[in-house]
Structures are given as structure tokens and as C-alpha cells.
Amino acid sequence: MEKRKILVTRPQLPPLNEFIPLLADIWDSRWLTNNGKYHQEFEKALANYLGVPYVVLFANGTLALMAALQCLRIKGEVITTPYSFVATTHSLWWNHIKPVFVDIEPDYCNLDPERIEAAITPATTAILPVHVYGNPCEVDKIQDLADYYGLKVIYDAAHAFGVRLKGSSVLNYGDLSIVSFHATKVFNTIEGGAIICHDIKTKKRLDYLKNFGIANETTVVAPGINAKMNELQAAYGLLQLKYFDTVIDGRKHITEKYKQGLENIPGVRYLDEPQEVDYNYSYFPIFIDESEFGRSRDDLFEELKKHGIYGRRYFYPLISEFPTYRGLPSAKGLDIAFEVSRQIICLPLYPDLADEIVDLIISIISEMVQVDSNKVPVKVLKTYKEKRKFPKEK
Ligand SMILES: *Cc1c(COP(=O)(O)O)cnc(C)c1O
């Protein structure tokens, strides 16, 4: 018998019996892609559910990022974070834009707004922050800087589907926001993504850009790409939306169980739930402080694997460490991001993860701790804020 494997995530699928009639309808209509009826319906349903003005569907989040940069004619230099999935920076590279990495803040691992200003040059045209793990960036500070220096703001909100800040979707901030509907994300259409924009003119331009730049039968207005979502995925997405609230409830339950079990383990930190935020519980990252935990993050990663449990070191290494980017001047001195990337491990999290598995993971972690008996017992601090090693620059 094959050993059971618990992966960091497990995609949620809509009920098959509800999908089959939609497939039958698509079979009858023979309309498979190119802004079909399910595509139109899904865009409207998403805008309505999220509480945003316009949604433009894409084949995936990466193409959405690339098209967003094209749409706003971003060029020169763009300020971004090294602590993300590679697609964030790759989208700049594909547009011949120079990434300028700025360090993160340690509380939520997002781009540190206090450090952005020092990285602005005459070539800077935009800021590309990421709402890491779905926790909102400091959106007001970022917007103030952007307004002051005349920069665009594009959020990589790949993790932030469904997150609300002060009662409004976090996707309403910035000039554009990009979400991903990849199978591993909190909301999936197998592959897929979208751009959230604020006006119909921008939506139209994005519609052209994702369809080769075609405006009508005889007019091509821009060098667009093919990045359209098909009808099968749009229909599947409509069903997913019906069940999304239940998905969040399930994720919240697992998250709370983890927090309860881990709260008194020395050297293990998790993120505080941010204030004024309705969170989507998209990930459960923990940070291992080797000096307190007595073992390294990689020791824990390997130990879990021995039990068939596969955490993910998300994000490690930093984007700025990869060959394409490591030669950039801004790839150096990203001390907080570097340290965090050596401490991070995301634990398995999905709605139907069994409570017994969560208990098992907690017991594996608590049994690994090696407290140095010569040391004065350490007061267990729950948040990194209280014990952080990286004081913010004055
Ligand atoms: C998943 C992800 C992307 C890419 O989205 P795809 O739909 O997989 O192309 C971009 N940025 C971040 C932060 C992601 O996690």
C-alpha cells in the first residue's frame, strides 16, 4: 500500500453532479472560448461577490500580471519585493522592466513602505507589491508615496482572493490588482486568474490585450497576447463561487486549531491576524527561530516528511537569489527577507484536512523542541513583533 501523503494544499473542487449539466450545455452550444456566456456571467458574478467594479478574466495569474504592466505602459524600473513567488518578478522581466528589490517588514512579510522612497529613481514608474499570504500591504502608505512621486501601483494579489480591509475588498486598492485561480490557490478554476480594475475603459483595453489586441474584425489596437479563460473553466468557477464561504470556514477552523496547538512552543512564531481585515486563511506560515527551537527549519521540514507530511518553504529562496536576478544591485542587503526565508515553513492547510492530522503535526513540532537546559527559561513570546530582531530603521 502506498504511504499516505499530506501535501501543503489540496484543491477544492465543485460537486461533479453540478458541473455535468453545465458541460452538457457547453457541448450543445459549441461555444468554447472567446468571451462566451459563462465567461461573461463569471466576470459579473465575481465583481458582485468581491465588491469590485470590474473583473477581467485571464488564463492564469502570470499572464494577467504581464498584461497589467502592458496596459499601464509601465517601463524603466519597478519597485517590488524579493519575498514572493517568482512570477511576480518574471512578469517584469518579460516586459523588459528592471526590478528593484526592496526589503520586507517582519510582521506580515510585505514590502516595507518605509524603505520604498530610498529606492525611487528618475526611471521608476511603478510599485509592484504583493499581499503575501493574503495579509494586506500598508496600502495607504504605498498610495501616498505613489501619489507624491507620480507612480502607478499594481498589486500582486494572487493570495488575497476574498480578503476585505475595513469592510471593502483589498482588491480595490492600487491602479490594478491581480489574482490567481491556480489549483493551489484558495479559490481555483484549475488554472486561471483575473485583473481587477476601476473603470470600463481600462477593462476594454485589458479585454483587447488578452485577445491579441483585436478590437474588431479589421482592427488590432495593440500587440496583445492570447490569455483568455475558456468556457469550461468559467462554468467551473461559477460553481466554485457558490461554495467559497464554506471553504473559508473550513480553513479558519484548521488555522485556529494550529494556533492553539502551537502557541506555547518556544521558537515557533505565527502571524497575528491583522486588524480590520476579513482574512481568507489562504496559508498557515510558521517561522522557526533556531536559537529558541533548538532545531532548524530544515530539520522540521525533513522530520515532517518522514511522517508523509509535506510543508512548503514558501518563499525560499528569495527571488533575488535566482541567477536571473542575483546580479542586480538591489539584490543585496535584503536582510529581513533573507532571514525570514530561512525561518519559513507553510504547514498543510485545506478545508477537509482531518483534525487528527493537525494534531499529529502539532505533536511532531512540539516533540522536536530542544530547549537548552543551561539557559534561563525563555519567556514564550507569541508574536514576532515583541521579540523581533530587526528593529525598523528610524
Ligand atoms: C501563484 C502566484 C502567481 C502566479 O499565478 P499563476 O496563476 O500560477 O500564473 C503570481 N504571484 C504570486 C504571489 C503567486 O502566489
What's 16-242's CATH class?
alpha beta
Q: From the alpha carbon of 65, which atom of ligand 1 is closest?
A: 10
Distance 228 CA to ligand 1 centre (A): 16
Average pLDDT over residues 197-213: 98
Distance 178 CA to ligand 1 centre (A): 9
* Whether the CB of 84 sits within 6 Å of ligand 1: yes
Q: Whose CA is nearest to atom 5 of ligand 1?
A: 61
pLDDT in tens, 251-274: 999 999 999 999 999 999 999 989
User: How confident is the model at residue 4, as a pLDDT?
Assistant: 84
Split at pLDDT 50, 70, 90, the class of 15 is very high
The set of catalytic residues is 185
* CB-based contacts of 154-157 (< 8 A; 24+ apart in sequence): 154/65, 154/68, 154/69, 154/72, 154/74, 154/126, 154/127, 154/128, 154/178, 155/128, 155/129, 155/130, 155/131, 156/65, 156/84, 156/87, 156/88, 156/128, 156/129, 156/130, 156/131, 157/130, 157/131, 157/196
Split at pLDDT 50, 70, 90, the class of 371 is confident
Average pLDDT over residues 164-175: 98
Distance 137 CA to ligand 1 centre (A): 17
How many whole angstroms separate alpha carbon 14 and alpha carbon 72? 35
How many whole angstroms separate alpha carbon 301 and alpha carbon 43? 40
Average pLDDT over residues 112-127: 98
User: How confident is the model at residue 386, as a pLDDT?
Assistant: 46
Q: Which of 166, 156, 194, 181 is nearest to 53 (CA)?
A: 194
pLDDT at 377 over 50: no
**pLDDT averaged over the chain?**
94
* Whether the CB of 61 sits within 6 Å of ligand 1: yes
Q: Which of 182, 188, 280 to mutate to test the pocket of ligand 1 (most atoms within 8 A of CB)?
A: 182
pLDDT at 286 over 60: yes
Q: Whose CA is nearest to atom 7 of ligand 1?
A: 61
Bond prior to 317 in cis (omega within 30° of 0)? yes
pLDDT at 392 over 70: no
Distance 62 CA to ligand 1 centre (A): 6
Distance 371 CA to ligand 1 centre (A): 38
pLDDT at 60 over 50: yes
* Whether the CB of 91 sits within 6 Å of ligand 1: no
* Whether the CB of 229 sits within 6 Å of ligand 1: no
Q: From the alpha carbon of 192, which atom of ligand 1 is closest?
A: 7
Q: Which of 8, 62, 314 to mutate to test the pocket of ligand 1 (most atoms within 8 A of CB)?
A: 62
pLDDT in tens, 124-145: 999 999 999 999 999 999 999 9
Share of the chain above pLDDT 70, in %: 94
User: How confident is the model at residue 216, as a pLDDT?
Assistant: 94
Distance 146 CA to ligand 1 centre (A): 24
* Whether the CB of 88 sits within 6 Å of ligand 1: yes
What is the maximum span of the chain, computed from C-alpha positions, in angstroms? 79
* 244-369 to CATH, choices 3.20.20.100, 2.170.120.20, 3.90.1150.10, 3.30.420.10: 3.90.1150.10
How many whole angstroms separate alpha carbon 202 and alpha carbon 66? 15
Written as one letter, the residue type at 352 is: D
Domain boundaries, the chain: 16-242, 244-369
Written as one letter, the residue type at 361 is: I
Q: Which of 137, 130, 148, 127 is nearest to 76 (CA)?
A: 127
Q: Whose CA is nearest to atom 2 of ligand 1?
A: 158
User: How confident is the model at residue 271, as a pLDDT?
Assistant: 96
Q: Which of 85, 110, 131, 313 to mutate to test the pocket of ligand 1 (most atoms within 8 A of CB)?
A: 85
Split at pLDDT 50, 70, 90, the class of 380 is very low
- pTM comes to 0.94
Q: Which of 78, 70, 66 is nearest to 151 (CA)?
A: 78
User: How confident is the model at residue 111, as a pLDDT?
Assistant: 98
pLDDT at 387 over 60: no
Written as one letter, the residue type at 29 is: S
Radius of gyration of the chain (CA): 22
Q: How far is CA 242 from the centre of its chain?
A: 22
Distance 158 CA to ligand 1 centre (A): 5
Distance 192 CA to ligand 1 centre (A): 10
Do residues 191 and 174 lie in contact, with contact meaning Cβ atoms separated by under 8 Å? no
* Whether the CB of 180 sits within 6 Å of ligand 1: yes
* Whether the CB of 195 sits within 6 Å of ligand 1: no
Split at pLDDT 50, 70, 90, the class of 3 is confident
Do residues 123 and 99 lie in contact, with contact meaning Cβ atoms separated by under 8 Å? no
User: How confident is the model at residue 378, as a pLDDT?
Assistant: 46
User: How confident is the model at residue 390, as a pLDDT?
Assistant: 43
* Whether the CB of 81 sits within 6 Å of ligand 1: no
* Whether the CB of 85 sits within 6 Å of ligand 1: yes
Do residues 270 and 291 lie in contact, with contact meaning Cβ atoms separated by under 8 Å? no
Share of the chain above pLDDT 90, in %: 92
Higher pLDDT, 371 or 26: 26
